[in-house]
Amino acid sequence: MGSLASTFGVSTATIRRDLQQLEESGHLQRTHGGAVTSSSTAFEPLHAVKAQERQAEKNAIAREAASFVKDGDVIALDSGSTTLALARLLKRHHNLTVITADLKVALEIADAPGVETILVGGQVRPGLYSIVGPTAEQNLGHFRANHAFLGADAIDLEAGISNATMLEVGVKRQVINTAPNVVLLADHSKFERTSLVRVAELSAFDQIITDDGIAPSIVDRYAKRGVQLRLARTETSLS
């Protein structure tokens, strides 16, 4: 980082801030003392890494999403760390059915006395724990839910929702098809980005929930295009 500051004739604080912005926009990945380019849009962190990132924001989004759910509902949950945060909040419900293609989500709620867990079969992605492939897609096609909750690697007004790998796209599209109310859960770092494979148009979602760390200019730009973002308040903003 010091060498970057010398090269560009700026302070290390400026370099640190610029690297953070580039990381959040998906152009690079921070490393100890510097950064490496994320030129490949197929870059995907493992679950253990994702689970440690922006926990406050994900928990806030999960709390907002949980307000849609009531006892007796059937819920379809996509894979990912934000849907896992939501799963933790669903354990208090009664007579709830949760359909998922994520091992971590299923294990989180499997012992909840009031929740029936349906885990679809298929190929498990090592280190990510999502279940993919034709078998998973076909299994999901048999189910109908009240609400479907999905995550995304990248969100863009023009490109819609995109994902870092082709492997999960078919499953995500089937999750969208399970329910009349489809809710996208994504923290503010996912916006103004595109990734390798397009999943769906923004119009496929009835609600888009993000955290209140998103720039007001982005909220306004989406609103002008008829896309309303529902902002979840983090614990920091509540204090």
Give the pLDDT of residue 28: 54
Task: Look at residue 44 in the predicted model and tell me its pLDDT.
Answer: 54
Picking from 40, 56, 47, the residue whose alpha carbon sits closest to that of residue 79 is 47
Radius of gyration of the chain (CA): 18
As a whole number of angstroms, the longest Cα–Cα distance in the chain is 62
74 shares its domain with 191: yes
Range(s) of the domain holding residue 165: 47-238
| Residue 162 is assigned to a structural domain of this protein | yes
Answer whether residue 36 shows pLDDT above 60.
Answer: no
How far apart are alpha carbons 75 and 69 in whole angstroms?
A: 8
Q: What is the pLDDT of residue 6?
A: 56
- Residue 87: pLDDT band (50, 70, 90) is very high
CA torsion, ordered 130, 180, 87, 120, to nearest 10 deg: -40
Within a domain: 42:
no
Number of domains within the chain: 2
Could you tell me if residue 154 is inside a domain?
yes
C-alpha distances in Å from residue 193, one per residue of 23, 92, 147, 159, 184 = 11, 35, 26, 9, 15
Instruction: Verify that 21 and 106 share a domain, yes or no.
Output: no
> Of 41-50, 126-135, 182-191, which one has max mean pLDDT?
182-191
Q: What percent of the chain has pLDDT over 70?
A: 77
Residues 143 and 220 in one domain: yes
Residue 178 sits in the same domain as residue 156 = yes
Residues 197 and 167 in one domain: yes
Q: Which pLDDT band, with edges at 50, 70 and 90, does 37 fall under?
A: very low
Cβ neighbours around 91 below 10 Å, total: 16
Q: Write down the pTM of the prediction.
A: 0.78
> In this structure, are 9 and 107 located in the same domain?
no
Cβ atoms of 195 and 154 closer than 8 Å: yes
pLDDT, mean of residues 173-186: 97
25 and 99, same domain (yes or no):
no
Lowest average pLDDT, out of 30-44, 74-88, 201-215, goes to 30-44
Q: Which residue has the tokens 């849609």?
A: 68
One domain, residues 134 and 161: yes
Query: Residue 168 above 70 pLDDT?
Result: yes
Q: What is the pLDDT of residue 46?
A: 47
Pull the structure tokens for residue 37.
């380019």
pLDDT, mean of residues 106-119: 96
Q: What is the CATH number of the domain that holds 59?
A: 3.40.50.10470
33 and 68 belong to one structural domain: no
Q: Are residues 57 and 89 in the same domain?
A: yes
Mean pLDDT along residues 102-110? 95
Q: CB of 136 within 8 A of CB of 168?
A: no
- pLDDT (0 to 100) of residue 38: 45
Q: Give pLDDT, residue 165.
A: 86
Q: Kindly state the DSSP code that residue 233 receives in the 8-state scheme.
A: P
